Structure 1
Amino acid sequence: MRQIRFAKRLQHLQSNIFADIDLAKAKALTAGNQLIDLSLGSSDLPVDDHIIEAIANSLYDHSTHGYLLFHGTRDFRQAVAQWYEQKFSICIDPESEVLPLIGSQEGTAHLPLAILNPGDFALLLDPGYPSHIGGVHLAEGQVYTMPLKEENDFLPVLTDIPQEVLSASQMMVLNYPHNPTSAIAPLSFFKLAVAFCQQHGLVLVHDFPYVDLVFEDNQVPSILQADPQKSVSIEFFTLSKSYNMGGFRIGYAVGNAELIRALRQVKSVVDFNQYWGILNGAIAALTTSQAGIKARVMKFRQRRDVFVQALYKIGWHVSIPKATMYIWAKLPEAWSDKSTEFCTQLLEKTGVIISPGAGFGKLGEGYVRFALVHEPSVLETAVERIGKFLYEL
């Protein structure tokens, strides 16, 4: 009997950091270990009551139970445009410049299918978020990685990209505040990036999930503030971080109308939209008081400070992040090229689960990422276990 044959593109999708961690976690739970999971940036904080109420009330409205096509999302798209203009003072056309997404990751993974032909280059950050590279491989594109180094504040040096790569490139993907390094980018850098992409005919993609999770009154810009005419840019948002709605899978894209239309064409053969009630909850989130966000930011700032101080006490010095829910930590010298092994042994011996930097790209090796998704007391317990692990080694 003839064997089943699979597409060659799957060869690039054999491993995924979060899937690998999930498997290791399942094994540890089966073994009866008590775990503290700091691997995934899934907030442990609750969704605000008024958002839940909007979703719950929708359940009893039978008109919300059918398929939801694009034109049925008009109220949500108008809420997005209103939110965006209030926050960034940029006008958005809800009809042509907004697209609902099943989480921003869905959008960043599907967009390369609308932009790349087989063999085209995409310029991606290293280290960077795994779905960015996965989407390029699905489109049978090539990846050129732009190195992010601490001495450059984890910003890429655009002039280092070879001309032969640029001539075959179609898109550049940025992500600030950055996952995993927590770096932020100033508007001046975005203006350079926009001019660079205009010069070389590149689509500029900005993944922007941590728009609100910023500390010490730092302001983070939208890419469209550097490209107010929306000449080359598209930006992806999610309600997972600002509103703790990760499990509801609701996000959206904003930007260049032609790019929005192209992504919509891809989505039209993959899915419809989420349940109408989820969009009603998202509308409630975007159009009511944003005071809850400030409270959540304060919580994550407190967790950051507690965790960094605890690491200092065990002799592990890290940079204090200005944004996101992560700590990007350089490993002790003995583990500088063994981040996966470090995380595996840490899980087996202590039950603390963290993400190896190697899972975010070649230049992530030598680092680990901690997600601050537990209360301060639990975070302190995790660091105590880590300290004991390091001491015993």
Structure 2
Amino acid sequence: MGYQEQWNGYAAFKVQSGLGVPASGSGAKVIRQTGGQGIRMTKASIGSKEIRRDGMSTRGRHGLQKTAGSYSHELSIGGFDDMMEAVMRGTWSAANLQLTQANFTSLTTGANTIVFTSGSPISLGVKVGDVWRLTNQATSTANNNINLRVTGVSSTTVTVAETLVVNVVPDTSCELTRTGRVLVNPGPGNLVKRYFTIEEYEYDTDQSEVSSDAVWGSYKLTMAPNGLLTFDTSLVGTGQFDPLASGASPMFTSPATSTGVPLAVVEAKVRLGGTDLVDLTSFDITVDIKPSSPDVISPSPYAPDVFNGSETVMMNMTMLRKDLLLLADFVDETPLSLHVLAEENESAPKDFFSLFVGNFTLGSVDKSALAKEGGPRTQSVSVPADLVGVDNTGAGYDATQVKIQVSNAT
């Protein structure tokens, strides 16, 4: 048997029907990764306290078995929807909520507004932090197929971050569509707990490591100049772990690989409060439900379940320093929102990934030290978990800590 080469393998995952029911067969998905620890099984070491007269030690024993894992990825559309859904403990909405003349009769456009002649955008499902598209505007075709970030919504008007062609003539031949699917934190009693089976298969050895009853517990989105959006995920299991022999591997049948291209930072927009930032030098956001597998007294070496905590959201960003507005927001405890929109490099309509956090305050604003070298002064902004909460604004807003929208329908 030859040695395993470090590149010649893959990891795949599939949702289970429930705790204690490992998944197998078809329907698994390949984990597109750039690295990470992968699955790791550990056991507690129990040392003997016996005092021996020969001055040596009695061999100890193994204790409880633990499993955990982490992966690094380049974010692409359609590649990580299941992991996001699991961490959010929600369910993706149906695709493409479309409004037509049957909903609003006609509409006009201002520089940053879409005004309905009839029907309430709020009642029809438009929410702040959504991404919508106008289509089939006959007289203002430049407005068609642009990804529009909703920054405000009233009983008659949708306000967007993008600049539109002004058209005061009522348009009766167009549609307004919330593209793709939306994922939010569900309300009380509606949280969905999902368990997964993870298989890491090696082609050269023709063997697999399999962990079942695993729970995706966190994801982290990171951005840096001249880079791709990176996406790190982690999971915790009950300790169920099997090394499969050659012939029994792989366990999953023909796992599918998503085809979305990695999203580039240069094609992403980050909006903080009411401003699109053009001077960021770094950004990251982490969403974590803190899963854990407890130690118990049991004839089984595994934990009985994986137990989650309340969701926490943390953010960090560094930017060029041009004023003291964020410092004033920190002093005044000003509630802020953040919207990340990453688009594919293609002609409109552009596929996209959107992440929105609607209710937080700043935890610190720290300037860099003065220096003799050339270059800009920067400021580092942190948002700790304690200062991110559910958005309780009310009508026109989702009652969620985080909202994700993807343009893919499935």
- Confirm or deny a common fold (TM above 0.5): no
Which structure's CA Rg is the greater one?
Answer: 2
Q: Tell me: higher relative CO, structure 1 or 2? Use CA pairs within 8 A at least 6 residues apart.
A: 1
Identify, as 1 or 2, the structure richer in strand.
Answer: 2
